[in-house]
Chains A and B, each alone.
Chain A
Amino acid sequence: MITKGMNKPLICCAAFAICLLVPIHAGLAFTNAPAIGESLPPFELPIPQDTRAQSYLGLSGTGQFTIAQIEAKVVIIQIFSMYCPVCQKEAFRVNELYRTIQKRKDLKDKIRMIGIGTGNTPFEVGFFQKKYEVPFPLFPDENLSIHRILGELRTPYFIGVKINRDGSDEVFYSRLGQFKDVNSFLKRIVELSGL
């Protein structure tokens, strides 16, 4: 039985629990998803050995790189999986986004796109890239290490990151699901990043 004297602490607990639980369920909604206005949680990717991909990202040599080392003002990261039906369906539209950016003189040197294949092996990522003729670099996250760092995001998930002059980075877009329309998505990326 709960007495009257216990009601206040009980309500405080209830309110605290609501504060904790609501963000978990709110659409965008991942406990540790990259937060807008904050730095991207740190992770590294292998420098691609394909010269075209190296040139696109402004990287050279071997070893690892961070997102902030990409030669661009804005990096759009697509978290995808070869096994994800929505990513399969949207592949052509994401390719179209890349081509639209490359055609825009004011954007083509400022925005770079990469994809990270959640739980996919290099073979699976390579297969996806070939199957859908993906023109931008894709990286496997076979052991799910980046998946865990980024808050176990579902796919597809898009993260927009600004690269600042001092070499730091800042997330300005972080959203689950397909973007449906290339032009409105790009417009939003340009507006939110301040390009």
Chain B
Amino acid sequence: MVSKKYGSILCMVGLLAIFSWGSAAHGRSDAYKENIYPVGKLKPTDSVLKVKVGDRAPDFTLPAVGGDKVTLSQYRGKKNVVISFVPAAWTPVCSDQWPGYNIAQDFFDQNDAILLGITVDNIPTLYAWTNQMCTGDETLWFTVLSDFYPHGAVAKKFGVLRSEGVSERALFVIDKKGIIRYIDVHDINKRPHLEDLVEELEKLNK
């Protein structure tokens, strides 16, 4: 039998292995320390869109991290809307996507647009995660919505709910009439380039 001494050594190796693998797969920003869950490489897309460019965007109401409820149609006639679905909080690519949008508010303002970030996570999870994206006492300038219950219902309406229960990494640009003007269901493993979204925002005013 393995003695207590050797058993302890084996336990130590096991623990080191667990922690080391955890640290090997992390988000790229040091803002999240070791708290990013390694998801590995996933199937690039795993859903079938239910809407297309030119369609009226399906309306929805979801709870926001700030406590309010937000309805898509409340912006009709007032603002262009960008919806950014990201798969899940505390995962590598998602954690490095919205912080970029957080410094790019000018592009949205210049094109009379607002941004709604949506995931299927619950509010407490989104609260903790989005706090890590900010510096000091700041908060994200855009609204973050929880599509947690009924689970992924809004993602499903748009046709971007994947079979494992998270959404695609998808961008929808919706004009002031509520019409979808741009759809990018992106490879879930990659971050969409900022310039592609900026280009689509600028098209709204042409």
Contacts and interface: CB of A to CB of B under 8 A. Distances in A.
Contacts of A25: 16, 19-20, 23
B68 interface: no
Interface string A50-88: 000000000000000000000000000000011111111
A-side interface size class: 35 or more
B104 A86 contact: no
Interface stretch (B114-122, B156-164, B191-199): B191-199
A18 B191 CA distance: 35
Contact of B30 (A11, A14, A131, A177): A177
A136 B132 CA distance: 28
B10 A14 contact: yes
Interface string B1-30: 111001001101100110110011011111
- Chain B contact residues: helix, strand, loop or mixed: helix
Contact of B28 (A15, A21, A155): A155
B101 to A, nearest CB: 9
Given A11-B6, A83-B100, A21 B13 contact: yes
A130 B206 CA distance: 25
Interface of A: 1-2, 7, 10-11, 14-15, 17-18, 21-22, 24-25, 29, 31, 81-89, 118-119, 121, 123-124, 127-128, 131, 154-156, 176-178
A123 B193 contact: yes
A121 B193 contact: yes
B13 A17 contact: yes
A82 B9 contact: no
Contact of A154 (B2, B13, B28, B134): B28
B133 interface: yes
B99 A85 contact: yes
Contact of A24 (B9, B20, B102, B133): B20
B6 to A, nearest CB: 6
B103 interface: yes
A25 B21 CA distance: 9
Nearest to B22: A25
Nearest to A25: B20
